[in-house]
Chains A and B, each alone.
Chain A
Amino acid sequence: MPYKPREIADKLRNKFDFKADESKGDDHWYYILKIEGVPPIRTKFSHNKKEIGSKLEGMICRQLRIKKPFLDGMIKCTNSKEAYYKQLRESPFPAFEEYLKK
């Protein structure tokens, strides 16, 4: 079943401590996570979308630096906040670019 934008957005905010950036855009919700030692993680969701298509979902996963199965775990609560932060620090996918590792 495709996820609804609000479903992922609420989970990011309530469980993974993403902050909503309400200053940006009328058509989208922006969510930002800033943790020590990792570049800022940012994604957005459209107000107008009822469901998230497979290609858009893939793009959101890239922005969150995870693979699709990990996102499923985040939504189903089998992946904790600590597990996600560990993932970001140790094995983000895709990996952070070289210029960010200096």
Chain B
Amino acid sequence: MTSTGGQSQLKRGAARFACYAAETYSHDLNAIVTSMRFSAGRTVSHVWQQGKQVTATRDYIKIAGDVSIPVSYSFNTPELFASFEISPLLSGEIASGWQLKKPLMLKVEVDDDGSMLISDAVFDEYGTGETFAEAKQDYIQSLIAYYDLLQTWATDDHPETQALFDYLRTYLQPDN
């Protein structure tokens, strides 16, 4: 049993490590940390050696071939548990002639058949594919198609569509 002082020290170390890992992964992937959690009393199931006994598990999203990115990461000690999740951000030029004025946070999931599902919680658009890149491309096509659709229908006699289109244009705009 670790002493209170030792546990406190371990907890600070765990927090620092999780923050460092989250910052590194999120920076490399143009992603943001969407959750970070610490708790005590979690049981160790695997041991990951890095100086001291720590358990680490990662959920990977396959991008293409053998390249994978961690979208969530957690690690355990006998007394502590720490985890974080990251979500890729879509920003800048997303397709030829199309700019995102504000970043959109994407949710990345693996479906029952192993395919990738990428979506956003702002416009509820989604894309699917066998890889992260395919699903992201599919998502971008859907978002642009959504813009075209709303542009066609956003008229004075359809205020709800106009409001939706106006809001979408605060994110997405074609180059002029």
Binding site for B on A (CB under 8 A): 2, 21, 24-25, 27-28, 30, 32, 34, 37-40, 42, 44, 46, 49, 51, 53-56, 59, 62-63, 96-97, 99-100, 102
Contacts and interface: CB of A to CB of B under 8 A. Distances in A.
A53 B111 contact: yes
- Chain B contact residues: helix, strand, loop or mixed: helix
B117 A40 contact: no
A27 B150 CA distance: 21
B146 A39 contact: no
A3 B164 CA distance: 30
Given A53-B111, A55-B111, A99-B163, A25 B141 contact: yes
Nearest to B142: A44
B56 to A, nearest CB: 25
Interface of B: 109-113, 115, 117, 119, 124, 126, 128, 138, 141-142, 145-146, 148-150, 153, 158-161, 163-164, 167
A13 to B, nearest CB: 17
A39 to B, nearest CB: 4
A38 B79 CA distance: 52
